[in-house]
Each structure stands twice: as C-alpha cells, then as structure tokens.
Amino acid sequence: MYGNAYVENTGNQNSLTAGEDPVKLAEFEARIAAGEKIEPQDWMPKEYRRQLIRMIEQHAHSEIIGSLPEGTWITRAPGFRRKLALMAKVQDEVGHAQLLYSACETLGKSREDMINDLINGKSKYSNIFNYPAVTWADSAVIAWLVDAGAIINQLTNSKGSYGPYCRALDRICAEESFHLKYGHDNVVFLATGTPKQRQMVQEALHRWWPPLMHFFGPSDKISQHTETLMKWKVKMASNDDMRQQFLDMYVPKIWDLGLTVPDPNLKKNESTGKWEYTEPDWEEFKRVINGDGPCNKERLAVRRMAEEKGRWVRNAILKKDAQYVAPLA
Amino acid sequence: MIIKSLDPRITRAGIDDESKDGIQQPMDQWHTYEVFQQKKRGTHHVHVGSLHAPDAELAVLFAKEQYARRGQCVNLWVVKTSDVFTTEYEDEDIFATTPEKKYREPEVYKVMDRIQAYKAKQNT
Ligand SMILES: [Fe+2]
Ligand SMILES: [Fe+2]
C-alpha cells in the first residue's frame, strides 16, 4: 500500500483491455516483454495509465504524509546531531513526493488535482502514517522499519515498465540508504542503552508491529486483473512476497538485539523457507484506511492548513499569464 | 473541532479539522521547468527531472534543493518545459543508420589491407 497496484472490486475483472486496439496493445505488450520502458508520449492502454496514476499518486501522498509522524519529533529530538539528521530525512521525504508528483503528472493529472484529491480524502496514502509516533523511540522505529518496508517496495517497483516512475524511484532509493542507517542507528542506540531506553524501543516496536504487517497490503487475489498488471509490469511482486522479504531481512536483526515482536506464532519454517505469522487484522486495516484511524483527521487537517497558509506566498509570486504544461519525462 | 496533537506545534496552530480551505486552483502550483545538472566541469549537463516554479530564478533555487542536495554538482540549467521542442518516439526510425551510410563509420576504411597487399606485391 505504499506505491502499490491493487485490485479494485469493480466487479468487472476482465475489462483491463476492453476497447483497446489489439494491434497497438500487442506492440505495447511486446515492448514491455522485451524489457523496454514506456515513455509519456507512447501509446498505452487506458487502464495502464489509470492504474499507474493511482499508484504513483498514492506513493507521492505517502511520502508527504509520511513526513508528518516523524516531523512530530524534530523539535524534541535528543541532541543537535539527531535533530539535523531528522530534518534532513524529512526534507528527503518531501522531495520524494515532489519527484513522484512530477512522474505522475506526465500521465496527465495535474499536481493541483492530486493535492485536492489528497485533502478531500479521495486519494489514499499509506495506512501506516495514520498511527502516531508517541515517543522518540517510535520515530526511530519508523525510520528503520517503515523505511525498510518502503525500500523493498520501491526497489521492486523501480524494475517496472513506466520510465518516469522508474527514474524517480532510482533517485529515491539512493537517498533511502541514509534513512535506513539513521533509523537503525537510533534503534540500536536505545536497545543497547539504559533499561529505560530499552523499554522505550521495545514498546515502540510492539506499537508499530501490526501496522508494519499491514504495510504491504492483504494477500493478492489471483485474478486475470492481477495477471495483466504483472504482465504490464505495473505490479512487480505480490504483497505476500514483499512481506516475506521484509520478514526475512529484518526479523533476525530485531531478534539479534534481544527485542521481541508481539506475535508468538512468528517463525521461519525451515522446510519451506517461508515465514509463518498470525494473520494480521485486516478488518482494522480496512477501518483505518477508510478514515477511522488514530491520526487520519490530523494528517489531512495539517496538510490542508499548509496549503491554506502557504497560499499568499504562492499567489504573491504567481505569473498571471503562465500556462500549465505537463513535465516532459 | 480544533486538532489536539502529540506535536505541540500542531496543537498551537489551532487547526480546525472541519475547515474546507486549502483547495487548489489551476496553476496554484505554477508551471513546470526541466532541470539539467552538470556533475563536474568538463562533462555534459544531463537532464535529471522537472519541478514547479513561478520563474527561472526560483526554479534554480528549487532545483538546487531537489536535485543537488547530495553528491556532485557544479552547475544547473533550468528550461521552461513549454520551451522544449521534442521529436516523437513514433518517428524513432529517423535515427536509424542505414547500411548505405557505412561510409560514415571509421571501420569501413581498411587502409592497412591495401598497404599490406601493396607491400606484398613489391616484395615479389
Ligand atoms: Fe521516501
Ligand atoms: Fe525514507
């Protein structure tokens, strides 16, 4: 659910290619199969465009809203060095949103429309950011593990077929390694500190575990729809595969610090090589993503306020005769 | 209702969660610029992406923040997207090098073959 293609329950599962010119469609699919990238001026199926707009836009919103829970701790970060590092990370995340908005605009949706759909609640963003960063340790867990999840998602998507999105993701991934190291450093510092610091980070980890298990979204339904999105390289891996990858890379690191996660059933099945876990509470996931989470209202209200209070600045330097042209690539 | 947050700055801002302000009008985000970055003196400027700005001067400022925050950069160019004239991918074939234009390639000139043949003839 970060930059994730997901299947809508429109009822019409086979309609992704309905009404498309079969010759152009075949050429388009052959080009993708040969590993070529699709550029904004190229012919593309309507559904390819629509699915990408939704996915990239949602990813952009996730970056911008995602900087809010961490931003909570900028003024109270312990020590000047951590304050500077956190500010740099938050700036990176806002920059990621800018890159992604531009990539999405090449598909024909203006940035104004995307911002409006965000503050009206029409577009979604990653559900995990509807939870609060209660302590400094929460911000450490976010920077380490939420960013770890984001990196898995972004590296996967960067192998996709749409040129502008892939290029934005390459830039983004290059910056993420700092976030991950910074987050890990903060978690390790607390986990190897005083009993009180250890307790803080342990409690934060317990708070963030359920939303982390939700992060990649529910298991994908196997449908013709999903198959088409995979063939078009819009969707690059199943949600479960990405979740497995996350568990495989990070659970051993968590356990290594002597920390625990709140799932007694979590273990690696050595014969299948897969992680087993308690099925996450998808009812809660649905409830929160549809608006009823601890911070949904605050996140959108803060975003709306930023647009509202920044308007006079934008207006003061607006060129009256300026004409909008979508970014090139 | 006024938002009460864990973040004291947000609580102090007194934000009404029912407010409907903040809706964007067309062009609120200005028009777009394409950004070209030169990493080292002597190398080419390379297109790195785009951004929104009200004029070229601010576009340079934003480009510095967006594209030159890390790593090497010695120079930036910004160009209004509307001023960039492009070819179409549809016409990609105009760039194809056809076999009859081989005379433009260095490897078709085989002087050594001729020199060696000449020398061989001289020695007989
Ligand atoms: Fe990011
Ligand atoms: Fe990040």
DSSP A146-214: IHHHHHHHHHHHTTSSBHHHHHHHHHHHHHHHHHHHHHHHHHHHHHTS-HHHHHHHHHHHHHHHHHHHH
pLDDT tens, A26-36? 999 999 999 99
Between CA B51 and CA B38 the distance in angstroms is: 17
Determine if the pTM surpasses 0.90: yes
Q: Is the pLDDT of residue A13 over 60?
A: no
Asked if residue A200 lies in contact with residue A190, where contact means CB atoms within 8 angstroms, the answer is yes
Q: Is the pLDDT of residue A111 over 80?
A: yes
Averaged pLDDT, A119-135: 95
pLDDT tens, A183-203? 999 999 999 999 999 999 999
Q: Which residues contact A122 (CB under 8 A, 6 or more apart)?
A: A116
pLDDT at B25: 87
Angle between helices A282-289 and A195-214 (to 10 degrees): 80
Averaged pLDDT, A60-79: 95
Averaged pLDDT, A145-153: 97
pLDDT tens, A160-187? 999 999 999 999 999 999 999 999 999 9
Which residue of chain A comes nearest to B55, CA vs CA?
A319
CATH superfamily, region B31-123? Phenylacetic acid degradation B (3.10.20.520)
Using pLDDT thresholds of 50, 70 and 90, give the confidence band for residue B105. confident
Smallest-distance ligand from the CA of A143: 2
Provide the residue ranges of all domains of chain A, joining segments of one domain with +: 23-316
Q: Is the pLDDT of residue A12 over 70?
A: no
pLDDT at A1: 59
pLDDT at B20: 79
Averaged pLDDT, A239-257: 97
**Cα A309–Cα A123–Cα A327 angle in degrees, nearest 5:** 75
Averaged pLDDT, B16-39: 90
B26 has a chain A CB within 8 A of its CB: yes
Between CA A145 and CA A138 the distance in angstroms is: 10
Q: Which CATH architecture has domain A23-316?
A: Up-down Bundle (1.20)
For ligand 1, the distance from its centroid to the CA atom of residue A89, given in whole angstroms, is 8
Cβ separation A304–B19 shorter than 8 A: yes
pLDDT at A14: 60
Q: Which residues of B touch A323 (CB under 8 A)?
A: 31, 82
B101 has a chain A CB within 8 A of its CB: no
Q: Is the pLDDT of residue A5 over 80?
A: no
φ, ψ of residue A293 in degrees (nearest 5): -110, 175
Q: Rounded mean pLDDT of chain B?
A: 92
Which pair of structure tokens corresponds to residue A173? 């991934």
What percentage of residues in chain A have a pLDDT greater than 70?
Answer: 97
Using pLDDT thresholds of 50, 70 and 90, give the confidence band for residue A112. very high
Averaged pLDDT, A229-254: 96
- Sign, CA torsion A177/A183/A184/A189: positive
Which pair of structure tokens corresponds to residue A159? 């192998």
